[in-house]
Structure formats: structure tokens, C-alpha cells
Amino acid sequence: MPFKIEMCGEWSKETVLAKSVKWLNPGKTQNWQKLGIDLVMDRREAYCFYDMSGKRLNSGCR
């Protein structure tokens, strides 16, 4: 079954990051965290990315 964001329900960002470390991509997630990047992508509009807290992550957006 493909992953759908609706499966996350009301998970917090911390929960998503913990599940990513445990199940999805531990090395990449831990490296990002060491660099101070707590990325949990939510939506994408062209070249603009937003994390699940609504923060825009790409400065090239208009």
C-alpha cells in the first residue's frame, strides 16, 4: 500500500521524526537532526517546500 499523508492523522512533528528514525530512513534523519534540520515535508508548490508547521523551506519561492 502506498503511503498517504492522511495515515499520519494528528501526529506531531516529533512523532514523525521519531518514526522516521526508527522505520523509514534512520541515517538521513539523524544526519539532518545533527545539522539542526528538523525537516518533515508537508506540501510542495513548484520549487517551494513547506514543513508540517507551515514554515517555507526554499528561499527561491515567490
Dump pLDDT digits (tens) for 33-47.
898 888 777 776 677
Three-state SS letters, the chain? CCCCHHHHCCCCHHHHHHHHHHHHCHHHHHHHHHCCCCCCEEEEECCEEEECCCCECCCCCC
2 pLDDT higher than 60: no
Q: Which pLDDT belongs to residue 4? A: 57
Task: Give the predicted TM-score (pTM) of the model.
Answer: 0.57
Dump pLDDT digits (tens) for 4-62.
556 666 788 888 889 888 888 889 889 888 988 887 777 766 777 778 788 877 656 55
